[in-house]
A and B are shown apart, each in its own frame.
Chain A
Amino acid sequence: MDLNDLLEIAEKENASAKPIRLRCCTAAGCLSQQGDAVKNALQQAVADADMSDRVEIVGVGCMGLCSAGPLVKIDPDGALFEQVQPEQCASIIASLNGGGPAEASVGSDDIPFFSKQHPIVLENSGRINPERIESYIAAGGYQALFHSLREMAPTDVVEEISKSGLRGRGGAGFPTGLKWATVAKMKAERKYIVCNADEGDPGAFMDRSVLESDPHRVLEGMAIAAYAVGATQGFVYVRGEYPLAISRLKTAIQQARRMGLLGTQIFESPFDFRVDLRIGAGAFVCGEETALLRSIEGQRGTPRPRPPFPAQSGLWGYPTLINNVETFANIAPIVSKGSEWFSAIGTEKSKGTKVFALAGKITNTGLIEVPMGTPLRTIVEEMGGGVPNGQVKAVQTGGPSGGCIPAAHLDTPVDYESLAKLGSIMGSGGMIVMDQSDNMVGVAKFFMEFCMDESCGKCVPCRAGTAQIHKILTKVTDGRATSADLENLRSLCEMVKSASLCGLGQSAPNPVLSTLRYYPDEYQACIDGGAAAEASA
């Protein structure tokens, strides 16, 4: 396999495309709304109308606007159908043949939800067939890997990633190039690459969507990373809750292996790289890198103190590079288009784009990708369409480790530093919009219950502290708390934050602290006025 072979596959794939293509979303959101029945009905309708010679139905990944699914998009003329029902499919196909307008609700892709996006990570999502490697290759896939292996030294690749300014998308925003350089410098007989696809933040589904819609992009990023740091074995650690992502990854790995894009002597170079899957078993703490590595080793997923960092001593004691799904998905475009192209997008300290999962009380729920520094207001009000029949009260980012940003701060640009200043974090990209009916003490209690359940129990501040905080919050929502309890709550939060061993405990108090900071009245009202309603949902 070399570049010509890649180009040949691409050409063949493009040549075989029929003049009219109906792209059907087959990612989990639409599949759970009868998306597969819609795809079958369309296929049947094409056969019935005897149009198979010029019309084809293509299963693609997530198109972003999951709340309007199942989505069907017609190429090349561009009609986008929303909430398509299997019964409507015959009329959609008939409309292609001059049979009058289709009896399905027509959406528009000329709305801010789509037009304000800047797709890099998601550029193939909803466009290519995630179950066919040829479809990825036709979109330029695996050329960046070829370019790295055949035209760049490993140090050049690390250098390019460093210059791009890419920061980890898994939450902490650590500079990716610096991490790669650390692993590359280590002298060891073996090194590992790990892709963190544990996506534990409840309410976030970016990584899931990337894996379901464009799995090869992640594999290509991992392979480039492996070449850059000198690793030969990789693992993708995926949540067990994501069966479709797991099955598409399995397919993708098999296909890449068969084509010689994974395995030994990739692109006829001396570089070998093998990727295996590890399936998580439902423990939030396993998203934390040291816990994740333990879990890959078949143990209980309990974190350990760092240093040593995984980059120095990771899987079975060998240097291990661990990055998030979205981080890896950014690699191939950076290698192809160059670090300057990438670093021109975003803000001074936060380069590139970020994928966000919009959910909660918002009109358009789904996935968007915007340049770093985009104001929260643009995302929530323009793109998301605001709260249906209501007002935004707060936007929760960073999940159980993050905080609530009140409506008054909606003009804040979304980047690592600005969100931290507001007492929240960028996190992995979950954005939950809340309206006036949401009780913020209830929200804080919800997250504390989560952290209490998910605490691995290894260290006392987190194990006992989260339970105590939860107890006080219950007292507050039950209307049994006093001002002294609020004082205790604050000091407990500070204690858990500073004394816990890993990020779970260290950040668990954030939702409480941020709601105490912005919504002190709601806490006070519970104390003054007796029992507050449980978080109204």
Chain B
Amino acid sequence: MSSTVAAPSKTAPAGGAKGQPSGDNRYKMLEATMKRHQYAADSLIEVLHTAQELFGFLEVDLLLHVAHSLRVPPSRVYGVATFYHFFSLKPKGDHTVVICMGTACYVKGASQVVAAIEALGGIKAGETTPDGRVSLMTARCIGACGIAPAVVLDGNITGKQTAGAVVDHVKGWLGNGS
């Protein structure tokens, strides 16, 4: 796993503050969260949520840092980080498209939307395009079943989607450098 995890981060600072907690504001914010939870081992999931929010994904160094701070074995931190789907040990693309594959969206044709984006980006669900532009993910219901099929484009939930409309949107991301 180390090869995938060690891939250069999109969100880590160019200056390489990695491993130098004092030089990076995000470490300070992470520290504040841990402090608020009194460095309790049972706050591990809360802390990982914050870490992922700040850093975009959970690099091994970051997991070690958390393990050290909360005084829990690195194996447990790694075990928790890999158990929950929410946590990502790999960097995400500049843009993300999350296609809901819950039951309501499935019966309304979500698999065709997935297939269309997979074909467009030349990737499978869960992967990022080689140029790092777009990550494609699937979800198990985001609670917008009333407007299925639902697709989340860079964090914005959109409903009643079609393969064509989502393809057009993602083409825009792939096409220009914004």
Contact = CB atoms under 8 A, between A and B. Distances in A.
17 contacts: A32-B159, A200-B140, A202-B140, A205-B141, A205-B143, A278-B46, A279-B49, A281-B85, A283-B84, A283-B85, A298-B42, A298-B43, A360-B108, A365-B148, A446-B106, A454-B140, A537-B109
Interface string A446-484: 110010001010000000000000000000000000000
A359 interface: yes
A241 B142 contact: yes
Given A281-B48, A281-B85, A432-B103, A66 B143 contact: no
A283 B83 contact: yes
Interface string A501-537: 0000000000000000000000000000000001101
Contacts of A33: 147, 159
A297 B42 contact: yes
Contact of B84 (A204, A242, A281): A281
B34 interface: no
B103 A203 contact: yes
Interface size class of A (residues with CB under 8 A): 35 or more
A34 to B, nearest CB: 10
A281 B107 contact: no
B175 interface: no
B112 A202 contact: no
Contacts of A367: 146
Nearest to A315: B42
Nearest to A366: B146
B146 A205 contact: yes
Interface of B: 40-46, 48-49, 76, 79-80, 83-87, 101-104, 106-112, 139-148, 150, 156-159
B144 A28 contact: yes
B103 A446 contact: yes
Contact of B141 (A241, A298, A535): A241
A70 B132 CA distance: 35
Given A205-B143, A281-B85, A361 B156 contact: no
Nearest to B113: A537
B84 A301 contact: yes
A357 B145 CA distance: 8
A298 B145 contact: no
Interface of A: 28-29, 31-33, 66-67, 69, 199-205, 208-209, 239-242, 278-284, 295-301, 357, 359-361, 365-367, 396, 399, 430, 432, 434, 438, 443, 446-447, 450, 454, 456, 534-535, 537
- Report which residue of B76, B103, B112, B148 has the largest number of chain A beta carbons within 10 angstroms of its beta carbon: B103
B80 A298 contact: yes
Given A240-B49, A295-B45, A299-B80, 5 more contacts: A202-B140, A281-B48, A281-B49, A282-B85, A298-B44
A28 B157 contact: yes
Given A203-B102, A279-B49, A365 B86 contact: no
A537 B112 contact: yes
Nearest to B82: A300
